[in-house]
Amino acid sequence: MISLVLHYLGMVLEPWLIGSDPDLISEKPLFELHTAIQEFLPDTEKTIDGRVTEEGISFKLARELPQIIEDHIEGFCGRLMGVLGYDNKDYNKMFWAVHPGGPAILNRLEKRLDLFPEKLNASRRALTDFGNASSNTIVYVLEYMIEESKKIKKEQQEGDGEWGLILAFGPGITFEGILARNLAV
């Protein structure tokens, strides 16, 4: 299952070690990757258009991208959450690490899933600090999410659940998702 997600996140995860059965005495795992799925939306190949140039990789995002994501996100997340027996009433019990393609995408996702605004804090912070820096932006989101989780735990406040979704959207349009457990808190 992990290999499906690595299609889009592969370059991002290279500096991270992915393994199994960590030695908790000498290793500090961040996440347990439970389930991964990928979905390609037909007839959307020009919605996210990537080009390799001498200056690097550039992407052109079509105006309808946020609406397309909004139209399909609920079913996609439902398939991931269903593995644990969760449903849409459980969205706000989970952590969310979403690749921030832009503010419109985050706003629409928050609205469609009726997420509490703080659920996308790490994604919004990464977007503010780094912009949409292609696939590696999700690493910034994960770092911020872990930082926020530790702060909440330190303040002994009730925080996000240990289970959550790591989501990204890529050319095609391709939805990539991981159901994960946060082990860093």
Q: Distance between CA 99 and CA 76 in Å, rounded?
A: 15
Using the predicted structure, report yes or no on whether residue 110 has a pLDDT greater than 80: yes
Residue 1 lies in a domain: no
- Number of structural domains in the chain: 1
At 76-106, the pLDDT tens digits run 999 999 998 998 889 999 999 999 889 999 9
pLDDT at 121 (0 to 100):
94
pLDDT at 142 (0 to 100):
87
User: Domain of 135: which CATH number?
Assistant: 3.40.47.10
Range of the domain at 133: 38-182
pLDDT at 123 (0 to 100):
94
- The arithmetic mean of pLDDT across residues 60-66, rounded, is 90
Residue 141 lies in a domain: yes
Report pTM. 0.82
Task: Choose between 133 and 81: higher pLDDT.
Answer: 81
